[in-house]
Every structure is written in structure tokens, then in C-alpha cells.
Chain A
Amino acid sequence: MENLNFTLLFDPLGIFFILVILLISLPSAVYSLGYLKGEYSPAKITLGWFLLGFFILSMGLVVSVSNIFFFLIAWELMSLVSYFLVVFDTGHEKSIQAGTIYIVMTHLGSAFLVAAFMLLYQQAHSFDFTAIKNACLVMPGKTKNIIFLLLLVGFGTKAGIVPLHIWLPYAHPQAPSHISSIMSGVMIKTAIYGIIRFTIFILGVNSWWWGVLILVLATITCLVGVIYALMERDLKRLLAYSSVENIGMIFLGVGLTMLFISLKLPYLAVLALVAALYHLINHAIFKGLLFLCAGSLYKATGTRDIEKLGGLIKKMPQTAICFLLGAMAISALPPLNGFASEWLMLQAFFLGAFKLTGGMKLFLGICASMLALTSGLVAACFVKAFGITFLAQPRSHYAQEAKEAPLSMRAGMFFLAFLTVIFGIGACFIIKLLAKVASAAMNIDISGMNFALNNFTLGLKSGKEVYLSTPVIALLLIGLALAVFIVYRLFNRRKTSLYQTWDCGYYKITPRNEYTATAFSKPFRLAFSFFLLPYRKTQKIRESFYQVKSFAYETYTTPVFKKYVYQPLLAWVLGSAKFMRRIQPGSIHLYLAYIFFVLLLLIIFMPKF
């Protein structure tokens, strides 16, 4: 074995990811000052800080080592430390269960990664990235395909592609909120780093079906993620499923990049990778923000169930405005950052379709429309999340006694909210920087390419030009709003009277009359019932035939992947293990007899050896 030198590689792609890590970890760390304060003993809080530092360090190592051996070590370290952080709240049994599922799934992925790395080492006889990259230039196509599939499963488990995503809705809600924000914002992005580094940079994409496969998987991931998010009433599980969906969107960009590289379209490849990376950092920012807000809600009210909350915008105004900004960003509303990256991704699809032929055009068009569908569903989901949690009246005593979050928590949230606005309005600057990162990742020269008209307008050119200027849109919106507001104030100063909500003449309108989250998502539950397989149970308690005293209504959606993919697999594994147990009755004599008879057989047949 050659000597492994531990060198760190700081190329633009790695630096970009380190930036993402730091950008999310620092506000989360500040946030955890206030979050952990009342909850755990000081010794445990110190342990939490230690683990957090270790976690950030391990993620930084993953994106900066230049050696597959150390990459694996850093990867395993990251998984292990995050496991300890997920089960940090050891009081709850659900945390332990979530941790178990998480560690099993992540090690499954690591097994595939080890297999892929072993194949790479076998081809290149070296652990170093550059040596492997040179070896990959001459690798036979079949080996490349196998390595690609192994890497896809390995990194896909960590990223959360369907059907390997089931650990996400368990692990993210149970972890402490600042850890959830780092895990969801940054850790699953290291898997994207892995895919970009190993597939695009090292393996080199030569087959077009790689990109198509990733596009199909990513579309399915988007849709599955957002449909499950719509059905959730636990706020952090909703955010976890929404992370699955956004990972799908980032993979859409990565798949497009691979497709364009294999078809030798450099401008479009750079554009697609820029869109993917932009969405990556945007998602890190607004998902981190949303998880931090969810954490402050949990700390203030003691519950994550949005059906028990309501009216919090009056009790926690600053958290509310941060959550609103996060919700607006994730629903891709102009002029925030989600809008810019979503627009860029759609343009990547469209412009790409312009250059491709026939069936691929249609395929890209359908993928783009599925992307549009998910963005519409995400907007619905976050209207529900924000509306039911913060607006109207409190639905239970949990929400009635809520207090605003402490300053350190608010500081973290405000910083990220500020970033969403900055990354939206400054889209041009960011895209110029990202173009440099993308060109370094793919070794494509971008000196001739033009992504922006000037410092404020994005201009993409493939055929005809198309422009977007987020600062101008922001100015337009704010200017028009101000103008209207002034006219509004000037026009009529007659007084506004406060009264109750219109209740159709019903004299007693209570918080029970408000819409619930389950009710809000009912049209979606029915429209997507072919996938969700909901079932419901109603129960009427009658005093007499004409008088119903109470009515109980329960509805569940079937967890399709758990029930139809994982449980049969587990049942098969356990069943065959039980079958195998029959050769072990526990009798020593039988075990000795096994040894003896094998010995006899060897003696009898030994001359033949």
C-alpha cells in the first residue's frame, strides 16, 4: 500500500461547499445558544457543542480531502457524529428509533460507496483524486456504468432520493432544531458534492442515459417529497419531506448537467450546474431558516403539531416574519432567492430542449412541467404551514402561552432571512461566481460565455435572449406597493372599524371553526389518492337516531415506501434468518457432529485434492 498523504484540495467546488457549510452552521450555532439553554443539563450542552464542532469539521473534511481513503473516513465520521446528534434527546424513544433507522440506511449507502471506491482503486492503483481521474479516461464503459450506479445508490442514500429517503422524515424531526437545520441544509448537500466530484469531475460523463436516469429519479423524488409534505401535520416532518423534494430539484439540475456534458453542449452544461448549485445554496439558506423557526416554535409552545397552534403571529412576531420569508423563498416568490434559482432551472430545461432533438425535447418539457407542478404544490404546502401555525386564533393551550424566542435564536434566524433577500436580489453576482465554480468542476472554459447582461440583469442566450432582473422586479414591487399604499392612505380617511369575523349569523365562532391542516390538504389527499392510499375512519356516537352527540374522524395516509418496499424486504430477511435458525438447535452434540462429519468427508475425499 502506497503511503497515503493527507492533503486538502481547495478548488472552487470545494470552497463553494465550505462556504455553504459555514454559512448555515454559524447562525445555527448562535441559535443553539438559546435553544439548548433550558432544555438540558450543562454537561450535556457541552457535549452538544463538542459534537457540533466535530460535525462541522467532518463535513468540511468531506468536501476538501483529495484522497478517496480519507474521503471515506471523513464520510463515516460525519455519519457517526450526526447519529449521536440525532439521538441527542435520549429521553424520547422516538429519537432512538429515528437514530437506528438513520444509521442503518447511512451505512447501507456507505457499503455501496466502499464498493465503488474499491473498483476505482482497482482501476487506478492509487487513492488520489487526480490519479483516479487519469485512470478514468481509459476505463472501459461497463466498469464506469457499474461505478456510477454504485455511487448513485451510495450518495443517494445520504441525499435522500426516493426510495432511499425514508430515514429523512424520521431523523430530521427528532434531532434538535439547530442540528436539523445543519443536517437538512448542509449534510445532505455533501452527497451532492460527492456526486458532482466523483461522477462529473472524476469519472467523466460519457453516456447520455446517466443524465436521463438521474432526471427520472429526481422528478419522482420531487413529486413524492412534496405530496408527503402536504399531508403532514408535524411541522418538522413537513420540512423534512420538503427537503426531499428540494434535493430532487437539485438532482434535476445535476442530471441536466450530465445530459448536456454527454451531448457536448458546454454552455448549457455550465448553466445547468449553475442552476443546481444556486438552488443548493438557496435551499440550504431557506431550509436552515425554516428549521430554526420550527425549533423556536417547538421551544415556545412545546409541540410540533401545527393543528394545535395558531395565532402565533401576534405572540411571536419576529419568528413569524422569518418563517414568512422562508416560506416565500421556498415557494419561489419573487424577488427572493428561491425564485431566482427556480427560474434558472426552468430556463436550463427550456434552453436545453431547444438544442436537443425530438423525443428528448418532449422529455425535458415534461420534466419541466413536473418541476412547475412541484413548485405549485410547495406553495400550497407552505401556505398551509404558515397559515395554520401563525394566523387566526390559537387552537389550543399550547399556542396560547407562547412567548417570543430569545435573542440568540432570533439573531440566527434574522441572519438567514437577510441572506434569502440578499441572494435573491444579488442573483447576478452570485451566478457569475457560480459560473466560475461550475467551470472548474467540469473543466470547461467559460471565457466566451455570457450569463449576465450587466450586474443586475441575467441574460441567457441560446437562440434568442431571455432576461431576468431580480433587483428590478423587487424595485417594481416595492415601488408600486408604496405608490398604492400612499394613494390608499390619501384616498379615504374614513375610519376602519374592528369587528368579528363574518360568521354567517352564527353567534358563537370559536377557534374550532377555523380550518385545520388536515382539512386544508384534503383536496390534495383526494386528488393524489392513487399514490397516498388514504383510509379514514369515522365514528358517530348518537343519543338517538336523529341526534348525534359526537363525531370522530380519523384519516391516515399509507406510508407507501415503508409498507411496500422496506417492510417486505425486512420480512424476507427475517424470515430467511428464521429458516436458517433450524440448523442451530442449541445442542452441542449436533455442532460437534457437524465438525466431525466434515472431517470425515475431507478424509474420504482427500486423495482427490
Chain B
Amino acid sequence: MKIVLILSQLVFFIILSPLLSGLISKIKNNLRMRRGQSILQPYYNLIKLFSKGQVVSQTTSWIFGITPVVVIASALAGSLLAPVFTFPTSMHLAGDFLALIFIFTLGRFFLSLAALDAGSSFGGMGSSREMFISSLVEPALCLTVFSLFLQFGSTDISSFNAVKTVSVSSIVGAIALFMVAIAETSRIPVDNQETHLELTMIHEAMTLEYSGRSLALIEMAAYIKQLIWFFLIAQIIFPMSVLNPSSLSGLFLWGFYYIIRILVIAVVMAVVEVSVAKMRLFRVTDFLGFVFVLGLIATICAILRV
């Protein structure tokens, strides 16, 4: 039974994560008064990339080859810890939120190394900026997790289902997590996923040398990470425990609620991306400092039991 659950969770993530990305770009394009690409475009991209050959640089080593596998393995391992289907989560004995953060760090570490491996300035720049932003995200994220911990009693992701009401602390915490998700999933205002200008790209710069199947794997990993973050944020603001499906209509309501909460966050993300401009790298420190302050407020609210 456990195996079925795990496999279905993996399949769910692999299949549905590009859809989320396509959805967000569709909403963005609508806000920009364009028709834009179809929702299924990421799938088309991935299929195209899988069917193409690769060009690998001569200066690279085996790290370059192993990185896509490590990155997607870490993303999939993280997806098993995410709050998707059941509570307690299928792998709650394996790790908690902190373990999830460290698993993401594993993927990021290898991606940065692979970027340096190619020996071009693009890779070095992307790698340096990525490590810079991720290391500044860590304290804000940790403080937010701390506030969640104070509220839920444990950093185990299964415990995020414990409270039935949403307090000020969890709302502020969720906003902080949202901003952290912007940084982690490389969205405006931290990084632009649609650009290839060297002054503006961070995640794209690290994946510049990749092509073909490797690039497909890395893109997939990015989509999966994004979906994990969305699920986490959704669980905190819109906990699934508010509904208890007892009848068939209740089940429909439950399913509707399940999908709607992700959509709401996707819409908010799209609106944020469209409305603000990408920040300069050293303005990102101010942004992340603000997230730290939000985490601090969430902690204080959790201490005061507000």
C-alpha cells in the first residue's frame, strides 16, 4: 500500500508540475494582454528536449554529467516529503521540513558546481549569484519554519495539518514562505525565467551549458520544486483539515478546494511577477531582509499565540 502511495505521488508530481508552470505563464500573458503560449507548452518543450541530442563541453568532467540526475533525484525525494495526499505524509519517517530544505540544497550545490565546470563566465556568475541568494534566504526561511514550529508543535510536515484555524502567525509565515518561494523558484523580482541576458539571469545562467535530455531533467526538477513550494504554502494558509469529506458532494467539494488553493497562489504569483520589475542583485539583500523581518513578526505572533 505504501509503495502504491509513493509511486502515485511521484507520478503525480512528474505529470502535473509542468502544468502549473504553464498555467502561471498563461495567467501572466493574459495580464499582459497577450495570447501567449498554450498551457501545455512546458510539456511540448520537455518532449522536444528529450528527443534531441546533447552537446557537451570539452572542459567539463563527470560532475557535469551527474548533476542532472542528482538534481532531479533530490527534487523527487523532496516531493515525497511534501504534503500532497495523506497526513501523515508517506515519508514522514524519513524527514521533516528541515530535511526538505537540505535536500534542495543538495540539488543546488551540484547545479552550482556543474555551472563552474563549464569554465565560462556565465556559469561562474550564475553559480556565485545563486549561492549568494540561497545563503541569504536560509535565515529567513529558518525563522519562518521556526514560527511554524511554534504554532504546529513540530517541524514534521505532517503536523501542518494539526490546526483547523488560520492564525495571524501562519498568515504572515505563509507570506514569508511565498517570498522565499519566489527566490527559490527563480521568479521575478529575484530572477527572470524568461531571459538569457547575462546581467539578469541566475538560474538560467547555471543551466546555460545544458542541452537535450539533461536540460529536460533540470527543467523538470525546477517545476517539481515549484509545485512542492506551492503545496507547502497552500497547506499553511488553506489547511486541508478544514474539510472532512463524508459524502460524495463533500468529496467533490474537497477536490475543488484542493485544486482551487493551488490556483489562488498561482494567480497571486503571476500578478506579482507581472507587476514588479526584477531587482538588482544587491537589492535582493533588502528583499530578503524584509522576509527575515516577516519571519520575525510571525515568530513573535506565534509566541504571543495570536
Contact = CB atoms under 8 A, between A and B. Distances in A.
B121 A514 contact: yes
B195 interface: no
A515 interface: yes
Contacts of B141: 372
B279 interface: no
Nearest to A479: B73
A515 B125 contact: yes
B120 A333 contact: no
Interface in B130-153: 131-132, 134-143, 146-147, 149-150, 152-153
Nearest to A528: B285
Nearest to A378: B135
A373 B143 CA distance: 10
Contact of A466 (B120, B143, B150, B156): B156
A473 B103 contact: yes
Interface string A103-119: 00000000000000000
Interface in A287-322: 311, 313-314
A368 B148 CA distance: 14
Nearest to A349: B146
Contacts of A371: 142
B74 A379 contact: no
A331 B154 contact: no
Contacts of B238: none
Interface residues of B, number: 89
Interface stretch (A499-507, A550-558, A585-593): A499-507
Nearest to B80: A476
Residue among B91, B105, B147 with max Cβ neighbours from chain A (10 Å): B105
B72 interface: yes
B69 to A, nearest CB: 5
Interface string B103-136: 1011011001100111111111101110110111
B99 A343 contact: yes
A465 B162 CA distance: 13
Interface in B282-306: 282, 285, 292, 295-296, 299-300, 303
B102 interface: yes
B208 interface: yes
Residue among B142, B285, B299 with max Cβ neighbours from chain A (10 Å): B142
Contact of A376 (B72, B74, B137): B137
B200 interface: no
B292 A513 contact: no
Nearest to A460: B154
A354 B80 CA distance: 27
B50 interface: yes
A415 interface: no
B1 to A, nearest CB: 17
Contacts of A488: 68-69, 213, 217
A423 to B, nearest CB: 16
Residue among B116, B119, B147, B299 with max Cβ neighbours from chain A (10 Å): B119
Contacts of A495: 53
Interface stretch (B56-64, B229-237, B247-255, B257-265): B56-64
B161 to A, nearest CB: 11
B39 interface: no
Contact of A498 (B58, B106, B109, B116): B58
Contact of B59 (A347, A372, A393): A393
Contacts of A332: 102, 105
A453 interface: yes
Contacts of B59: 311, 392-393, 500-501
Contacts of A519: 124, 128
Contacts of A377: 135
Contact of B155 (A380, A466, A503): A466
B134 A376 contact: yes
A313 B74 CA distance: 24
A432 to B, nearest CB: 17
Nearest to B288: A527
A380 B131 contact: yes
B129 to A, nearest CB: 6
Contacts of B213: 488, 491-492
B276 interface: no
Contacts of A457: 93-94
A515 B124 contact: yes
A463 to B, nearest CB: 4
B106 A465 contact: no
B77 interface: yes
Contact of B153 (A354, A386, A484, A500): A354
A71 interface: no
Interface stretch (A91-99, A151-159, A357-365): A357-365
A333 B103 CA distance: 7
Interface string A519-562: 11111101100000000000000000000000000000000000
A383 B109 contact: yes
A350 B77 CA distance: 24
A425 interface: no
Residue among B131, B292, B295, B300 with max Cβ neighbours from chain A (10 Å): B131
Contact of A387 (B76, B108, B116, B152): B116
A497 B155 CA distance: 46
A377 B292 CA distance: 16
Given A334-B102, A366-B143, A369-B143, A499 B93 contact: no
B95 interface: yes
Contacts of A346: 98, 142
B159 interface: yes
Contact of A379 (B105, B125, B128): B105
Contacts of A418: none
B5 interface: no
A473 B94 contact: yes
A141 interface: no
Nearest to A342: B102
B116 A369 contact: no
A348 B182 CA distance: 29
Contacts of B129: 523
B45 interface: no
A472 B135 contact: no
B99 A527 contact: no
A375 B137 CA distance: 11
Contacts of A465: 154, 156
Contact of A350 (B99, B103, B124, B155): B155
B77 A469 contact: no
B55 interface: yes
Contacts of B269: none
A301 to B, nearest CB: 17
B35 interface: no
Contact of A392 (B69, B80, B117, B136): B117
B112 A387 contact: yes
A343 B118 CA distance: 33
22 contacts: A333-B105, A334-B102, A358-B303, A376-B135, A383-B113, A391-B61, A464-B154, A466-B156, A473-B103, A476-B80, A492-B50, A501-B60, A509-B120, A511-B119, A513-B121, A514-B119, A514-B120, A521-B128, A523-B128, A523-B129, A523-B132, A527-B285
Interface of B: 50-63, 68-70, 72-74, 76-77, 80, 91-96, 98-99, 102-103, 105-106, 108-109, 112-113, 116-125, 127-129, 131-132, 134-143, 146-147, 149-150, 152-156, 159, 162, 208-209, 212-213, 217, 281-282, 285, 292, 295-296, 299-300, 303
Interface of A: 311, 313-314, 324, 328, 331-334, 339, 342-343, 346-347, 350, 353-354, 358, 361-362, 365-366, 368-373, 375-377, 379-380, 383-384, 386-388, 390-393, 453, 457, 463-469, 472-473, 476-478, 480-481, 484-485, 488, 491-492, 494-503, 509, 511, 513-515, 519-524, 526-527
- The 3 nearest A-B residue pairs measured at CB: A515-B124, A376-B135, A392-B119
